[in-house]
Structure 1
Amino acid sequence: MDHWHEFRRPPSEQEYSDEVESGAYLEPAEEELADLSQAFNKLWDLDMNRLVPGKDYEIDCGEGKKVYQKDDMAQGSLFSWVNEDVFRRPTFARFCSLLDNYNPDEGCREVVTSEERQEQAAFIEEISKTAPIKYLHKYLSSKGIISENYQYFKRTMTSLWFDLYRRGGTSGSSSSFEHVFVGEIKQRGEKEVSGFHNWLQFYLEEAKGRVNYQGYIFPRRRGQLPDSDTQLLTVQFEWNGVLKSVSSTLIGVSPEFEIALYTLCFYVGEEDNHVELGPYPVDIKCYRLGDKIGSAFPVAEC
């Protein structure tokens, strides 16, 4: 599980993947610029690194439950296995190298080391070579929101996701990346988990024994119950003994896809974004904290 540690090197020694070739397929069409749902579907199609259920990983959803039910309805783990080759994929490896950079206590001021800044820059550099991020840039620059200069765009992405801000009454205690992907534990009143919407973080923490999966949440409507092929799942779990009563996550998607998805929501979407993501009708929630992403996550609509 240590494949990503090879990326913990100074910038002069970093190696990156080849860039995807630019082409017409990365240019947002007029209908995509006019309809966010179509843009999101394009991002879904461009996620060439998305994993395949049964080939790259397997999940066991266990039994379903209502949000208010506290009984553990899953005897085992959510993830039965994940192919270790997944962690050799550059964007996945660089993403994983970031996950241990944070204190989970919401009110604890973060200390960012020079090595961690290198990891942040390397992650942004790596995902910027992929189709979802290139499409995101072309989309935002077409609307005049972001400069056409790609280096400026990368600096903007680094600032958006990794700059620290105040949460839980403490300045410099949180960031968009930490909250959305890593998760935090609220300390005021009864402890609860906030954020933590990423499947890779879930898998790794579950493998370390820090996550106790307690079952999926029944769909709000009478729809198809989740199975091992489901890639949008609403679950309940405990992290470090603290409950997350309901949490939705996209399973198997790449880090670059989620970064592009939530960044697009932040710049051109609303708080609620009712869209189609491949086969899934979904509401992408995006909450702002000033000029930063306060939280972003999917909510299944069936």
Structure 2
Amino acid sequence: MNNDVYQQIWNSDRHRFLVSPRDNNGNWLDPEADILLDEQIKAFGKRDLDLAQKPLFYRVNEVKLDKIPTFVSLIKLLDNYKFANQQAEIITRAEKTEIEQFIDDICQTKPIKIARHYINNQLKFKLSPEIFRQNLISIWFDLYTNYFGGIPIKDASAFEHIFVGEGKYDFSEETNNIISGAISGYHSWIKFYLDEKQQRVNYLGHNYDLQGDTGIENPYVVTLQMLWQDHDAQENLTVELFKKKGCFFVGTSPECEIAMGTVAYYENLAGYKFRDKKRRTTINGVTYDLALYRNIEPDGKRGNYIRSFYPIFLGTGN
């Protein structure tokens, strides 16, 4: 029996959506699943070549998205941030209230309670419920300046980077009224689904390092290539931002992802079971590296905020 804390959090996620991929014949393994995931074909590797002609998400049970409080409160947060990473962020009073509501909603759930119990008892941090709640707000939502590569990115936060994504606009490459660039972060299946529904993101195909039909082996994580698109009405410019490889859990609830990321953060602080910024774990027979990066200070050392968190699919078995 796997008693790893990440398996415990996964097992307790009663708000998780059931996910089904297609089989080798193109049929859904479970046509009644909450999410029908259509990975289609391997990405070619170039931003201007789309081999996946259909969306990644064939169907999502939106009744659950609109009904479960933690999903509802998370979705309200997604429009609070500017996608361009050089634009200043201003957190309004109303947005602070939305953050508080989201934290209150997830703190009532089993995954977050398991995370706190593990952090207190296994890692010996001894955080009261109120201190733990305040720490969740701080490490996920406080704004900081990140100095990756010595280049300061102001007003960054863990939530923005992971759940919303940050666009790196390259104005020097502007041609034919099109601004190109890249995306960092963007590790949320909910954000990807909503952007895909609004035709703001184009799924270009899967991009696993492993060989074989990885979608069937592992429908709860996607590794992909994508092109995010928008129109800047003020400048009358089209924005096209490329991500060569991105990955995120699929179907997991917000509380499950926050719980796993928070546990990884505290394990990382404690120097516990991490190797090269990654924590290896097995969930339901599938092996993952959970990548956890803390922010970088001006002196190059890691700070006390989460910078990024995402799963890396390593295959089934050992």
TM-score class, shorter-chain normalisation, is: 0.7 to 0.9
Q: What's 1:122 paired with?
A: 101
**In 2, Cα distance between the equivalents of 1:199 and 1:296?**
13
> Does residue 239 of structure 1 match 2:217?
no
Question: Residue in 2 aligned with 1:5?
Answer: none
For residue 221 of structure 1, the aligned residue among 210, 216, 219 is 210
> CA offset at residue 227 of structure 1?
4.0
How many residue pairs are counted as aligned between the two chains? 267
What is the CA–CA distance in structure 2 between the aligned matches of 1:228 and 1:91, rounded to whole Å? 28
Q: Which residue of 2 aligns with 1:187?
A: 169
Residues of 1 paired with 2:124 and 2:100: CA distance?
22
Identity %: 31
Structure-2 change in CA distance of 1:197 and 1:39 (3 Å): same
Q: Which amino acid aligns with 1:301?
A: L
Measured against aligned partners, the alpha-carbon deviations of 1:14-59 in whole angstroms (never above 9, x if no partner) come to: xxxxxxxxxxxxxxxxx95xxxxx1111111111111112421212
| Shift in alpha-carbon separation, 1:119–1:86, aligned structure 2, 3 A | same
1:294 Cα offset (Å): 1.1
- Structure that is richer in strand per residue: 2
Residue matched to 2:133: 154
**Structure 1: distance between partners of 2:228 and 2:153:** 24
Aligned residue among 278, 284, 289 for 2:290: 284
Q: How much has 1:153 moved relative to structure 2?
A: 0.9
Q: Does 1:73 align with 2:51?
A: yes
Which portions of structure 1, spanning 4 or more consecutive aligned residues, are displaced by more than 6 angstroms?
none
Unaligned runs of 5+ in 1: 1-30, 33-37
Check the 8 A contact 2:143/2:157 in 1, yes or no. yes
Shift of 1:173: 1.9
Distance 1:139 1:225 in 2: 31
1:272 maps to what in 2? 278
C-alpha separation in 2, matches of 1:222 and 1:98: 37
Checking the alignment, whether the CA contact within 8 Å between 1:213 and 1:236 is kept in structure 2 is yes
1:63-122 deviation line (CA, Å, top 9, x unaligned):
113546852121011111211212210111111010000001111110000010000010
TM-score (norm 1): 0.82
- Structure 1 residues 191 and 77, CA gap change in structure 2 (3 angstroms): same
Note if contact 1:182-1:201 (Cα within 8 Å) is conserved in structure 2: yes
Per mean C-alpha deviation after superposition, the further-off stretch among 237-246 and 182-191 is: 182-191
Q: Determine helix, strand or coil for the equivalent of 1:292.
A: strand
1:111 aligns with 2:90: yes
Q: CA RMSD in A?
A: 2.2
1:42 is paired with a residue of what secondary structure? helix
In 2, Cα distance between the equivalents of 1:224 and 1:81?
20
